[in-house]
């Protein structure tokens, strides 16, 4: 019934929707909605921004001021000691370098294999296509478990090497499915047939035609893996024993979380316990800032690609 009553363009002529007749309660419904809606969103926004903002101002404040509850909106007793200490700490800098290495290598391996495998699975003339797809999807639901994974990595002799961190989780099935659907939807068979008539073999077609047409997909995959690799810590926790190979997230865990229990604050070299504690707090706030804030600042510029990715995945499910 509502469909029949609606005439295209009818609302365009009037500036406001027709005034709702009826009681005061009925007329107040929409303004009330707006107030509640904006109220909920503002609470959410503040709940997200304030903790992050607090971490930033706490990282440059005198720790005693935080202790006494004087730091709320602005830094008190401005100091850069925490940052000086962080940048002179060898283990943190090494963790940083390791993380950069693992992230670059891991992302390169993941993106290369996912694009290759995704493209192959998208080709309808692939031998055993259904079988291979089934094999991949099976691993989404059945999984050997943590212990089996650990033992396999150990048997392969990869413990304490970079490969233990970058290889086991390299191909996420979910991302593989996204890649496959993208190729299926955007690289038509006719295109390949035309290229073959012109003398292009499969490799040439993949590198010269299919990939250049898939830039949004490539960009999305690179972004997903950069973030995931940078933030990963668990594989490093179970597969790496050598502290010199720890990525930043593991160093962070030891400083931020493990040390809270004992309150040593990751500044053991300092002479007095009180001073160590004081600096320890500063270091913790500062480390959260340097490991996280750069990512959050570039985020708005990449938002479009991430939402597209979320949608690609959602549409398929």
Partner 1 sequence: MYGAQIAFRNYNPALGFTGSPWVGLDHFVRFVQSFQFGRLLENTLTINALGLLIAFPIPIVLALIVNQLSSPRFKKFTQTVLYAPNFISVVVVVGMIFLLFSPRAGVVNNVIALFGGEPVFFMGDPDWFRPLYIGSDIWQNAGFSMIVYLAALTAIDPSLHEAARVDGANKWQRIWHIDIPGIMPVITILFILAIGNLFNLGFEKVLLMQTDLNLPTSEVIQTYVYKAGLQQAQFSYSAAIGLFNSAINLVLLTTFNWVAKRAGQSTLW
Residues of span 55-74 touching partner 1 by CB under 8 A: 55, 58, 63, 66-67, 69, 71
Residues 27-46 that bind partner 1 (CB under 8 A): 29-30, 33-34, 37, 40-41, 44-45
Q: Are 232 and 218 in contact (CB under 8 A)?
A: no
Question: Pattern 164-203, binding to partner 1, x per CB under 8 A?
Answer: ----------------------------------------
Residues 198-257 that bind partner 1 (CB under 8 A): 227, 230-234, 238, 249-250, 252-253, 256-257
Nearest Cα residue to 216 out of 92, 302, 98, 97:
302
Nearer to partner 1, 129 or 149 (CB): 149
Q: Helix 90-122 to helix 215-231 angle, to the nearest 10 degrees?
A: 140
Tokens of 147: 């212990």
Nearest distance, CB of residue 134 and partner 1, angstroms: 12
Cα distance between residue 205 and residue 195, in whole Å: 7
Q: Are 66 and 281 in contact (CB under 8 A)?
A: yes
Nearer to partner 1, 275 or 295 (CB): 295
Interacting stretch for partner 1, rule CB under 8 A, among 83-91, 117-125, 147-155, 181-189?
Answer: 147-155
Place of tokens 């060898």: 90
Nearest distance, CB of residue 155 and partner 1, angstroms: 8
Nearer to partner 1, 194 or 310 (CB): 310
Cα distance between residue 87 and residue 11, in whole Å: 61
Tokens of 254: 């030891």
Cα distance between residue 259 and residue 276, in whole Å: 12
311 binds partner 1 (CB under 8 A): yes
- Binder of partner 1 out of 261, 269, 271, 274 (CB under 8 A): 261
142 binds partner 1 (CB under 8 A): yes
- Binder of partner 1 out of 15, 23, 51, 128 (CB under 8 A): 51
Residues 83-122 that bind partner 1 (CB under 8 A): none
- The size of the chain, in residues, is 317
Q: Are 315 and 250 in contact (CB under 8 A)?
A: no
């Amino acid at each position: 019934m509502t469909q029949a009553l609606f005439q295209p363009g009818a609302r365009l002529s009037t500036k406001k929707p027709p005034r709702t007749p009826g009681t005061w309660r009925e007329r107040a419904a929409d303004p009330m909605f707006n107030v509640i809606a904006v109220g909920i969103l503002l609470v959410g926004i503040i709940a997200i921004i304030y903790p992050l903002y607090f971490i930033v101002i706490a990282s440059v404040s005198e720790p005693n001021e935080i202790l006494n509850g004087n730091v709320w909106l602005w830094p008190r007793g401005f100091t850069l000691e925490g940052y000086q200490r962080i940048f002179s700490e060898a283990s943190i800098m090494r963790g940083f370098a390791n993380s950069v290495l693992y992230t670059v290598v891991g992302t390169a391996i993941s993106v290369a294999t996912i694009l290759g495998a995704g493209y192959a699975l998208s080709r309808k003339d692939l031998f055993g296509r259904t079988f291979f797809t089934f094999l991949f999807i099976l691993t989404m639901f059945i999984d050997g478990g943590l212990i089996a994974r650990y033992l396999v990595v150990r048997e392969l002799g990869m413990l304490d090497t970079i490969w233990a961190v970058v290889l086991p989780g390299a191909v996420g099935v979910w991302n593989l499915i996204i890649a496959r659907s993208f190729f299926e939807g955007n690289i038509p068979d006719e295109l390949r047939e035309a290229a073959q008539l012109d003398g292009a073999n499969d490799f040439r077609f993949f590198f010269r035609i299919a990939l250049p047409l898939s830039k949004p997909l490539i960009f999305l995959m690179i972004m997903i893996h950069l973030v995931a690799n940078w933030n990963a810590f668990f594989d490093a926790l179970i597969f790496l024993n050598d502290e010199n190979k720890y990525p930043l997230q593991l160093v962070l865990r030891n400083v931020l979380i493990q040390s809270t229990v004992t309150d040593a604050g990751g500044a053991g070299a300092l002479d007095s316990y009180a001073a160590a504690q004081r600096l320890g707090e500063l270091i913790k706030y500062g480390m959260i800032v340097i490991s996280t804030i750069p990512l959050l600042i570039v985020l708005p510029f990449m938002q479009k690609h991430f939402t597209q990715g979320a949608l690609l995945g959602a549409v398929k499910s």
